[in-house]
């Protein structure tokens, strides 16, 4: 129970800091003129300039919570925690150097996004920055897809991990297209990572996951529709980075409980909605002969709008799908082969349903356009 209290404590601290820092960053954006101006890009739908320093608030709450936790871990010896928790604290010193580089990469992800929000970098420059961030996390932060190291191909695990981090960062960057959409999806994902890592008796990973979840939920309070502040590329890069590394750091396969190695697929399904959305819009843009980095209105959320849902309903629909897919694969951790197969089929069925709904929305829009043209 002491560990559970610690998880709740770090979540609450991060949540509180985000609730405090977000209004402060909003005021800073107003003072410095750091806005998202809707008329600068055709695919943006908000009508008035909106403060754009939300990513700084999220990452600030996350980093301050980690710093507070590190300081607190050095000052609790001799307290009631000594017998049940502090005995594990020597492990902090073993991973402290790696944690420094993990935090450094998170800070760099935020700064990269801030610079892009302000100066609109080229896609190649942004990609180079993302690669550098991923390399730091993998090479010095100790983040690695370990099971790939068993395959006798030198560098496979390293390359796959770098690719994974870049992929998720871009997926969340693309996914941030409606009030509360990306931050809510991230908060749900972080919650799953926290619960799963606790279930598999990890200690420090759930502390990091709970910290990130708290920061995300705190910012969500200000970013849901109608949003009073946007997180911008700084927020989407930071969240994508953390979703990627936590997806790797969490332990999914427990030999004493799992009957198969299929739990290793869990992070793919927890992040399936933004990854699915990324794949869909990239295919659409390639088929249309457009650059994949140019925004448009072909995302999952936009398709729900085309079906007649309001913006709030579209966002809620995406969040419910995120929860449904995540819950459907949770039994993989302890189920036998029959349970895991059924869980995977259920998750795939949900994604297939999304595909059909999207195509239906697209077809309705095309039919409506053809009808309007004929009437004219």
Closest CA to 26 of 213, 187, 227: 227
Helix residue ranges, H only, the chain = 2-32, 54-73, 90-119, 123-139, 156-175, 181-199, 204-223, 232-249, 266-270, 272-287, 300-306, 311-329, 337-375
Closest CA to 109 of 203, 44, 39, 172: 172
Task: Compute the average pLDDT of residues 45-52.
Answer: 73
Q: Is residue 337 within 8 Å of residue 203, measured between CB atoms?
A: no
Domain boundaries, the chain: 1-251, 256-367
Q: Is residue 40 within 8 Å of residue 80, measured between CB atoms?
A: no
CA distance 177 to 189: 18
User: What is the reported pTM?
Assistant: 0.90
pLDDT of residue 79: 54
pLDDT tens for 63-89 read 999 999 888 877 765 554 545 565 565
- Give the percent of the chain with pLDDT over 90: 60
Could you give the 3-state DSSP secondary structure of residue 50?
strand
pLDDT tens for 243-274 read 999 999 999 988 888 788 889 999 999 999 99
Task: Compute the average pLDDT of residues 299-316.
Answer: 89
pLDDT tens for 139-181 read 999 999 988 878 888 899 999 999 999 999 999 999 998 999 9
**Token output for 338:** 């029959």
- 259-267: long-range contacts, CB 8 A cutoff, minimum separation 24: 259/335, 259/336, 259/337, 259/340, 260/332, 260/336, 260/337, 260/340, 261/147, 262/332, 262/340, 262/344, 263/332, 263/333, 264/147, 265/329, 265/332, 265/344, 266/196, 266/329, 266/330, 266/332, 266/333, 267/193
Q: Is residue 242 within 8 Å of residue 190, measured between CB atoms?
A: yes
Closest CA to 67 of 42, 30, 92, 90: 92
Strand-pairing partners, residue 35, are: 51
Q: For the chain, give the mean pLDDT.
A: 87
pLDDT band at 371 (very low <50, low <70, confident <90, very high): very low
pLDDT of residue 363: 53
């Amino acid at each position: 129970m002491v560990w559970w209290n610690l998880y709740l404590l770090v979540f609450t601290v991060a949540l509180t800091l985000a609730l405090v820092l977000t209004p402060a960053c909003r005021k800073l954006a107003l003072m410095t003129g750091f806005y998202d101006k809707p008329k600068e890009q055709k695919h943006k739908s908000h009508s008035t300039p909106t403060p754009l320093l939300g990513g700084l608030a999220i990452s600030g709450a996350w980093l301050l919570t980690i710093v507070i936790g590190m300081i607190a871990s050095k000052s609790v010896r001799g307290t009631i925690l000594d017998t049940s928790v502090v005995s594990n604290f020597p492990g902090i010193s073993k991973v402290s150097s790696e944690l420094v580089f993990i935090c450094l990469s998170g800070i760099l992800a935020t700064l990269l996004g801030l610079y892009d929000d302000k100066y609109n970098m080229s896609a190649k420059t942004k990609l180079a920055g993302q690669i550098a961030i991923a390399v730091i996390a993998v090479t010095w932060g100790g983040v690695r897809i370990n099971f790939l190291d068993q395959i006798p191909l030198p560098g496979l695990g390293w390359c796959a991990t770098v690719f994974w981090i870049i992929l998720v960062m871009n997926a969340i960057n693309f996914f941030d297209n409606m009030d509360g959409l990306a931050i809510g999806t991230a908060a749900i994902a972080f919650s799953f990572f926290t619960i799963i890592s606790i279930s598999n008796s990890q200690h420090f990973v759930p502390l990091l996951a709970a910290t990130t979840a708290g920061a995300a939920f705190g910012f969500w309070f200000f970013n849901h529709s109608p949003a009073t502040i946007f997180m911008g590329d700084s927020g989407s890069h930071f969240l994508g980075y953390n979703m990627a590394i936590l997806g790797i750091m969490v332990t999914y396969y427990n030999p004493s409980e799992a009957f198969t190695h299929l739990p290793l697929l869990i992070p793919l399904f927890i992040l399936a909605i933004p990854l699915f959305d990324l794949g869909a819009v990239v295919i659409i843009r390639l088929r249309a002969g457009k650059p994949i980095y140019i925004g448009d209105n072909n995302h999952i959320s936009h398709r729900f709008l085309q079906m007649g849902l309001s913006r709030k309903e579209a966002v809620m629909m995406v969040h419910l799908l995120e929860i449904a897919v995540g819950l459907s694969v949770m039994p993989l951790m302890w189920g036998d082969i029959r349970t895991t197969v059924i869980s995977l089929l259920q998750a795939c069925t949900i994604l297939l349903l999304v595909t059909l709904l999207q195509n239906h929305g697209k077809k309705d829009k095309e039919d409506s356009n053809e009808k309007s043209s004929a009437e004219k």
